[in-house]
């Protein structure tokens, strides 16, 4: 399993004591992990945005781009 370094993604933040220190979409309490779990479960990005109104499409685009870059061979 590959671990992604989220510290370089401007669309997310980690705040000690907030949601157990998980990586969150910036200015929300929504864990980044929830996006990947939703997609794996068959949800669309539009559905995710409906379920989590504080998350913006720009956040999701940035997270998906960062994940893709992180997984590309060096």
Residue-wise pLDDT tens digits, 8-54:
999 999 999 999 999 999 999 999 999 999 999 999 999 999 999 99
In the predicted model, what is the mean pLDDT of residues 53-70? 96
Q: CB neighbours of 31 closer than 8 A, spacing ≥ 6?
A: 19, 22, 23, 24, 25
pLDDT at 1: 59
Domain assignment present for residue 26? The answer is yes
Split into its structural domains, the chain has a count of: 1
pLDDT at 2: 67
Domain hosting 10: range is 6-71
Structure tokens at 19: 């949601």
Please give the model's pTM, rounded to 2 decimal places: 0.89
Residue 23 CB coordination number (10 Å)? 17
pLDDT at 35: 98
Q: What is the CATH number of the domain that holds 18?
A: 1.10.10.10
Domain assignment present for residue 1? The answer is no
Domain assignment present for residue 11? The answer is yes
Domain assignment present for residue 16? The answer is yes
């Amino acid at each position: 399993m590959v671990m992604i370094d989220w510290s370089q993604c401007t669309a997310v933040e980690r705040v000690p004591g907030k949601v157990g220190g998980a990586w969150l979409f910036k200015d929300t309490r929504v864990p980044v992990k929830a996006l990947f779990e939703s997609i794996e479960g068959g949800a669309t990005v539009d559905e995710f945005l409906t379920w989590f109104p504080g998350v913006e499409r720009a956040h999701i685009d940035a997270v998906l781009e960062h994940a893709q870059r992180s997984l590309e061979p060096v």
